[in-house]
Amino acid sequence: MQDYVLSNKEIVRLKHYIEHKHQSLDPKLRVAILSDAVHRIIESRLPSFSDELKQQVRHELLLKNRDSLVIQVDDVLQHCMSLDLSQEELLSSLAEWICSKSTLPVQEEAVRDILLRWSQDSSSTVSLQALEREWDLQDRIALEEIAVTSEPMIHYGNTSWPNRRITIAVVSFFAVLLAILLIKYPVEQESSVPVPLIEPIQRPQPTLKEIQSVGGIPSGFKYVAIDTKRLKQYLLERDSMLAEESYLSAIVEASKKYDIHPLLLFAITGQEQGFVPKDHKKAEEIANNPFNVFGSWESYNTTIDVSANIAAKTVVNVMGRRPGSIHPIKWLNLTYAEDPNWWEGVTWFFDDMKQKIEDESFEWP
């Protein structure tokens, strides 16, 4: 990892070279040559910003480190938090630069998310090492999700892990034994004893009519243009802050950007915050992050544009890894919420909104 943009050793070598090469020149001229060389080196090692911005960043970095002229990668990263990273060209250039400085195989998309969040939170510890830790944590969480979802869906209650392993071994043994017996002694006929029917628990839980079995994001969850007037009316009937143009448009735009059905994002706000009713005393704060990204609206209070983009990107990333055997929103539940029934509420809101907003284009299952 290149810790320095300009190191002390480089400065010493430059000074010695200029003094030897231009020893006949006036000391002030030698200083000017050294200054020009330092400026060129720093600018060549900054992110691929515009020339004007590079000069501005270089100037600020040298002012901050005027005593030593030594500039570290962290100095650049910390200064860039003062830039407007909502500008795509700045965020993209900085994320690409960070990836080139890290010894870890950090992914640019993950780096962009972290940088954007840091730029919104002045209390964040900003350094390359901190970024690598956050990326590594996210990567391990993703691996754990894959590991967890590959296990059989058996509820063990409060059983300790050693006991769980024993239980799994016993269940596996009898499953194999049963399979062998069925192969060796096939069932000749069905039992004449009628099997009693068990009444299912009645829940207001509509589901999609068709779920693709191939995995990934089903076509029914991809972006479609919706009737925003009907959507607004749906939200107004619930006295929702999200019916206001700034919130509604931000969520729709984020869904379009990441190719996710807009009503899925609104359904998540319905489950997380009841669509943010206006009569809530902190409605304006909640509306900044109605998806509860990064924990909750209290711990991460940003803007609706930022939270909507993070939520949409999260949905895309998680659903993109979905195996074909599981309901897309149930798969999302494994990462998005601790409540195992969260997906049922989101599914209900999603289908309810599709029926009432898309009208004839929707059929109940």
Return the amino acid letter for 93: S
Let me know whether 344 and 225 are in one domain.
yes
pLDDT, position 222? 94
pLDDT, position 153? 37
Which domain CATH number covers 357? 1.10.530.10
Global confidence as pTM: 0.46
CA distance 90 to 85: 6
Is residue 171 included in any domain, yes or no? Answer: no
Let me know whether 351 and 223 are in one domain.
yes
Phi–psi pair at 298, nearest 5 degrees: -75, -40
CA distance 165 to 159: 10
pLDDT, position 165? 52
Let me know whether 123 and 230 are in one domain.
no
Let me know whether 354 and 268 are in one domain.
yes
Let me know whether 354 and 238 are in one domain.
yes
pLDDT, position 128? 85
Let me know whether 111 and 227 are in one domain.
no
Place of tokens 């509306």: 287
Q: Are 45 and 97 within 8 A, CB to CB?
A: no
Phi–psi pair at 240, nearest 5 degrees: -90, 135
The Cα angle at residue 227 between residues 312 and 218, in degrees rounded to 5:
45
Q: Which of left, alpha, beta for 46 (phi over 0: left; psi -120 to 50: alpha)?
A: beta
Structural domain range at position 67:
4-143
pLDDT, position 179? 58
Q: Last residue of a domain, which of 111, 143, 175?
A: 143
- Supply 176's token pair: 């194999």
Is residue 204 included in any domain, yes or no? Answer: no
CA distance 7 to 14: 11
Is residue 170 included in any domain, yes or no? Answer: no
Phi–psi pair at 214, nearest 5 degrees: -90, -5
Q: Last residue of a domain, which of 109, 143, 177?
A: 143
- Nearest to 335, CA basis, from 301, 288, 293: 293
pLDDT, position 140? 56
Let me know whether 270 and 136 are in one domain.
no
pLDDT, position 346? 95
Q: 113 Cβ partners below 8 Å, 6+ apart? A: 310, 313
Let me know whether 225 and 357 are in one domain.
yes
Is residue 166 included in any domain, yes or no? Answer: no
Q: Are 266 and 253 within 8 A, CB to CB?
A: no
Let me know whether 225 and 352 are in one domain.
yes
pLDDT, position 36? 86
Q: What is the pLDDT of residues 163-212, one digit of tens each?
A: 545 555 555 555 556 555 555 555 444 433 343 333 333 444 444 444 44
Q: What is the pLDDT of residues 201-228, one digit of tens each?
A: 344 444 444 444 467 899 899 999 999 9
Q: Last residue of a domain, which of 98, 128, 143?
A: 143
Q: Per the structure, how many domains does the chain have? A: 2
Is residue 319 included in any domain, yes or no? Answer: yes
Is residue 332 included in any domain, yes or no? Answer: yes
Is residue 155 included in any domain, yes or no? Answer: no
Q: What is the pLDDT along the chain (365 residues), one digit of tens a residue?
A: 347 888 888 888 888 888 888 888 888 888 888 888 889 889 988 999 998 999 999 999 999 888 888 899 999 999 999 999 989 999 999 988 888 887 777 778 888 888 998 888 877 788 888 888 887 776 555 545 545 554 443 333 444 444 545 555 555 555 556 555 555 555 444 433 343 333 333 444 444 444 444 678 998 999 999 999 999 999 999 999 999 999 999 999 999 999 999 999 999 999 999 999 999 999 999 999 999 987 889 888 889 999 999 999 999 989 988 988 899 999 999 889 888 899 999 999 999 999 999 754 444 44
Is residue 173 included in any domain, yes or no? Answer: no
Measuring CA to CA, how many Å separate 145 from each of 134, 138, 148, 149, 336? 17, 11, 5, 6, 11
